[in-house]
Amino acid sequence: MQQLTKSWLRASDHLANSVLEANRATLAALGFSNGGQSEKRQTKPNVESVAYDEQDWTDTRTVETPEDIQPGDVVTFSKTISEEDVHSFARASGDTNRLHLDDSFASETRFKGRIAHGTLVSGLISAALARLPGVVVYLSQDTRFLSPVEIGERLTAEAEVVEVLDTDRFRLSTTVTNEDEEAVIDGEAVVLVDPAPDGGE
pLDDT tens digits, residue range 164-174? 999 999 999 99
pLDDT in tens, 58-112: 999 999 999 999 999 999 999 999 999 999 999 999 999 999 999 999 999 999 9
Which residues, in sequence order, are bridge partners of residue 74?
A: 160
pLDDT in tens, 177-189: 999 999 999 999 9
- Res. 52 pLDDT band, cuts 50 70 90: confident
Report how far residue 48's alpha carbon sits from residue 46's, in angstroms, rounded to the nearest whole number. 6
165: nearest Cα among 76, 70, 74, 72: 70
Report how far residue 120's alpha carbon sits from residue 86's, in angstroms, rounded to the nearest whole number. 8
pLDDT at 30 over 60: no
pLDDT at 32 over 50: no
Tell me if the pTM is above 0.85.
no
Report how far residue 193's alpha carbon sits from residue 14's, in angstroms, rounded to the nearest whole number. 25
174: nearest Cα among 141, 131, 139, 138: 141
Helices then strands, counting H and E runs in the chain, come out as: 6, 6
The whole-number pLDDT of residue 51 equals 75
Give residues with Cβ within 8 angstroms of 170, minimum separation 6.
69, 161, 163, 164, 190, 191, 193
Percent of the chain with pLDDT over 70: 74
Report how far residue 53's alpha carbon sits from residue 94's, in angstroms, rounded to the nearest whole number. 25
